[in-house]
Amino acid sequence: MAREEAVVPKAEFRSYYGRPVIKAPIWHEPHMPLYLFLGGVSGASSMLGAGARLSGRHRLALSAEVTAALSAAAGAGLLVAELGRPERFLNMLRVFKLTSPMSVGSWILAAHSGMTGLAAGSAVTGLLPRLGTAAFAGGGVTGPLMATYTAVLVADTAVPAWHEGHRELPFLFAGSALASAGAAVMLATPPGEAGPARRAALIGATLETAAGHLMEHRLGMLAEPYREGPAGRTMRAARLLTVTGGALAALAEAAAVPSPRPRRPARARFSPLRPAPRAARPPSVPAVLRGMPAVLRELPAVLRGMPAQAVLGGVSALALAAGAVCTRFAVLRAGRASAEDPKYTVVPQRERVSARESPDPTPGPVPR
Amino acid sequence: MAERMGFFTDTSVCIGCKACEVACKEWNDVPDDGFLFRATSYDNTGGLGADTWRHVAFVEQFTRQGDSWLMASDVCKHCTHAACLDVCPTGALFRTEFDTVVVQPDVCNGCGYCVPACPYGVIDRRRDDGRAWKCTMCYDRLRGGLEPACAKACPTDSIQFGPLEELRARAGERLDTLHGAGVAEARLYGESPADGVGGDGAFFLLLDEPEVYGLPPDPVVTTRDLPRMWAFAGTAALSMAAAVALSFARRA
């Protein structure tokens, strides 16, 4: 009998005609990643809403709570559509099982969408203010659970890139949720009042980027699915968008630091440089833009007319939201890739077996 | 509760007749699993799935030390710690009085969570039907005092059915016999209650590494780490709360 595995390098592995050992997740695109995204947006938005209400920022609270309610409802819709038997979605509430993150999550989603719906309804219509306040508070509690349970949902599987990432995935998802909720609320709130949303987005983008890096660093061979192929491309797009969005959010925040007042003298300093209000516009166009179409040439002037904060905030929000969507798609794709290649199932398990069989550290190529 | 029942599949006497696959399909009314030609071996089914509850693997190996041709009938392992059952959010998957793991088709809503949760890649969702399906160890036959269809049909007794403790003892003896006869590569797979799934209700005698048959070398029930996962998620949730509090800390 051929027993050559003792002499072949560790990276070599045997399989049944290269077929996968485990079944890849059957969850669909875009349903599943969009649900993860919307769940994150909803969870973190309701927290921003609660914070806004506690600190007396009513305009911000309104945006946050409407965002939370709409995204929870849309997410729930996607979740139902994802089922093989959508008409049986209520079976999710037949039991409560702590061993099933999906069961726990169904109850969290039910509570959270109920709370945020009530809170938003009350905030918009002005009816039942006391119930609205209670729902706000409740949504502030279900929010962080809503945003992080999905990480346990994916990690509690046999999918190697998910299961082994169970330490960092909750932080990746929490960061992504804060960034995207901050982004959504920024878009729905006048810039002067969106300060907390911007700061939450900035912290979220930082956390998302850091957790993603840490996970890839720690996963060793299992980081490959996050780096290669379509999943890798999506992950890189997510990073780029999140970092850009985060940087712009920081700029928008910096522009807002002395709050609206000090910006006016700044604008006034510019006006003396322009000799005549209208006629002087062409010379003020930067040299690089001169060959550009009229629309682009006009852009700086248009921007100057708008608060820089609004523009920076808007672009930042779009980038952050797109980055968070990409992150969720990348996680699903990486999980699928790691399930479809038997290497990711067999090699780590084989290493575990070898480590158990020969506890003394043999000089094998097992860097980690 | 009745005694724990199980399968002992002794692949050293499997002749690859696929009678188990046929008997399973006939008895359980399992639909067609596709007319595929994989061109790798006599196996054109590939693996277990929603429409394949017994699967015969054909392992053809050609090496300098000699050629080998292994056959093995794979099946749901009916784990002691079953991930599919743990993660099922509807309670459709349940543990029977025979300590087997069965899906209730009238409850399953096709969420698909059991599919990536199984460390063996056994259970799957039927595309047209939307629900998850797998081996029931012929729950209906067991309740009627009959052995499962695959074990009944197996002409060489490669598939043995019985009380799990009895099967474990028999497997130990068979392993000793084979080792005594110089078949050093014979090994038991899934018989130990100390493994990552607490032992399989359906275990095997293999003649090569498990991965050669498409089986995971060291399966672990994913929910073993679940308390830790909730702890990490809880920490992440608290960090979010701290981040939001920080965002509101300044006046702007």
Q: Over pLDDT 70: what percentage of chain B? A: 98
What is the DSSP annotation of B181-199?
A: TT-TT-EEES--TTSBTS-
> pLDDT tens across B133-151, in order?
999 999 999 999 999 999 9
Contact list, B110 vs chain A (CB under 8 Å): 83-85, 88
Give the residue among A27, A108, A106 at the shortest CA–CA distance from B117: A27
Q: Residue A284: is its pLDDT beyond 80?
A: no
Task: Mutate one of B59, B73, B103, B111 to test the A interface: name it (highest A CB count within 10 A).
Answer: B111
Per-residue pLDDT at A310 = 83
pLDDT of residue A331: 98
pLDDT (0 to 100) of residue A287: 53
CB-CB: which of B110, B230, B235 is closest to A83?
A: B110
Whole-number pLDDT of residue A120: 95
Strand order in the sheet with B202-206: B159-163, B5-10, B202-206, B187-189
Rounded mean pLDDT, A270-282:
42
B27 contact A CB<8A: no
Q: Enumerate the residues of chain B whose CB falls inside 8 A of the CB of residue A27.
A: 112
Over range A204-216, report the average pLDDT: 97
Task: Assign A268 a pLDDT band (cuts: 50, 70, 90).
Answer: very low
A362 has a pLDDT exceeding 70: no
Q: Distance, in angstroms, between A34 CA and closest chain B CA? A: 16
Q: What is the arithmetic mean of pLDDT over A236-262?
A: 82
Instruction: Tell me the two tokens of residue A100.
Output: 């099933």
Binned at pLDDT 50, 70 and 90, residue A262 comes out as: very low
Q: Among A205-209, A269-273, A322-326, B211-215, where is mean pLDDT lowest?
A: A269-273
Q: What is the mean pLDDT of residues B94-113?
A: 97
Q: What is the pLDDT of residue A256?
A: 75
- Residue B250 has what pLDDT? 66
Q: What is the percent of chain A where pLDDT is above 70? A: 81
- B59, HSE (Cβ side, Cα atoms, 13 Å): 28
* Nearest neighbour of A148 by CB, restricted to B91, B237, B248: B237
pLDDT at B82 over 80: yes
State in Å, rounded, how far the first CA of chain B is from the last one.
66
Interface contact A26-B124, CB threshold 8 A: yes
The answer to whether the beta carbons of residues A350 and A13 sit under 8 Å apart is yes
Amino acid at A226: Y
For residues A151-158, average pLDDT? 98
Structure-block tokens of residue A330? 């990348």
Task: Give contacts of B119 with chain A, Cβ < 8 Å.
Answer: 22, 158
Residue in B41, B87, B217 nearest the CB of A156: B87
Interface residue B130 vs chain A (CB under 8 A): yes
- Of A12 and A69, the one with more pLDDT: A69
- Residue B212 CA, distance from chain mean position: 16
Res. A12 pLDDT band, cuts 50 70 90: confident
Contacts of A54 in chain B (CB under 8 A): 248
| Residue with the larger pLDDT of the pair A44 and A304 | A44
The per-residue pLDDT for A282 is: 42
Buried b vs exposed e over A242-259: b needs ≥16 C-beta within 10 Å?
A: bbbbbebbbbbbebbeee
Q: Which of B49, B208, B211 sits opposite A13 (nearest CB)?
A: B211
Binary contact (A156, B212; C-beta < 8 A): no
The percent of residues in chain A predicted with pLDDT above 90, rounded, is 76
Distance CA A270, CA A277 (A): 11
The residue in chain A having the minimum alpha-carbon distance to the alpha carbon of residue B64 is A2
- 3-state SS assignment for residue A266: helix
- A51: which chain B residues are within 8 Å (Cβ-Cβ)? 244-245, 247-248
Cβ-contact A169, A150 below 8 angstroms: no
> Looking at per-residue confidence, does B62 or A16 come out higher?
A16
Give the C-alpha separation, A68 to A226, whole Å. Answer: 29
| pLDDT, mean of residues A251-280 | 51
* Cα B114 from Cα B93, distance rounded (Å): 9
Write the residue in B46, B109, B246 that is nearest to A89 by C-beta.
Answer: B109
Model pTM? Answer: 0.88
CB contact under 8 A, B243 and A178: yes
Residue of B nearest to A28 (CA): B112
A49/chain B closest Cα distance in angstroms: 10
Chain B residues 152-181 with CB within 8 Å of chain A: none
**Contact at CB, A21 and B232, closer than 8 angstroms:** no
CA distance A16 to chain B (A): 5
- B1 interfaces chain A, CB cutoff of 8 Å: no
Architecture of domain B5-220: 2-Layer Sandwich (3.30)
**Average pLDDT, rounded, for chain A:** 87
- Coil vs helix vs strand at B7: strand
Nearest CA in chain A to B105: A85
The β-bridge partners of B57 are: B72
Which of B122, B123, B222 has its CB closest to that of A156? Answer: B222
Q: Which of B220, B116, B234 is nearest to A162 (CA)?
A: B116
Beta strands in chain B, from DSSP E residues, in sequence order: 5-10, 54-63, 66-75, 93-95, 101-103, 124-125, 132-133, 159-163, 187-189, 202-206
Question: Among A362-366, B37-41, B221-225, which range has the highest average pLDDT?
Answer: B221-225
Question: Which CATH code for domain A31-259+284-352?
Answer: 1.20.1630.10
* Nearest chain A CA: its distance from B139 CA (Å): 23
> What's the rounded Cα separation, in Å, for the pair B74 and B70?
13
Nearest residue of A to residue B90 by CA position? A92
Q: Do B236 and A88 touch (CB under 8 A)?
A: no
Supply the mean pLDDT for chain B. 96
**A91, A153, A331, A344: which to substitute to probe chain B, counting the most B Cβ within 10 Å?**
A91
Distance from CA of B92 to the nearest CA of A (A): 9
Give the per-residue pLDDT at A290.
Answer: 57
Report the pLDDT averaged over residues B181-203: 97
> Across residues A33-40, what is the average pLDDT?
98
* Closest Cα in chain A, distance from residue B197 (Å): 12
Domain ranges of chain A: 31-259+284-352
Among the listed residues B57, B127, B135, B116, the one whose alpha carbon sits nearest the alpha carbon of residue A23: B116
pLDDT tens sequence across A285-320: 455 555 566 666 666 665 555 677 788 899 999 999
pLDDT band at B67 (very low <50, low <70, confident <90, very high): confident
pLDDT band at residue B2 under the 50/70/90 scheme: confident
pLDDT at site A368: 44
pLDDT at A361: 57
* A19, A52, A106 member nearest B46 (Cβ): A19
- Identify the pLDDT of residue A5: 46
pLDDT over 90 at A113, yes or no: yes
As given in the structure block, the two tokens for residue A17 are 């005609």
The pLDDT assigned to A297 comes to 63
Interface test with A, best of B244, B246, B250, B251 (most A CBs within 10 A): B244
Q: What are the structure tokens assigned to A80, written together?
A: 């139902």
CB proximity B15 to A under 8 Å: no
Q: Say how many C-beta atoms besides its own lie within 10 A of residue A266's C-beta.
A: 11
CB contact under 8 A, A2 and B63: yes
The mean per-residue pLDDT over the stretch A275-290 comes to 46
**Out of A174, A342, A353, whose CB is closest to B240?**
A174
Distance from C-alpha of A64 to C-alpha of A200, rounded to nearest angstrom: 12
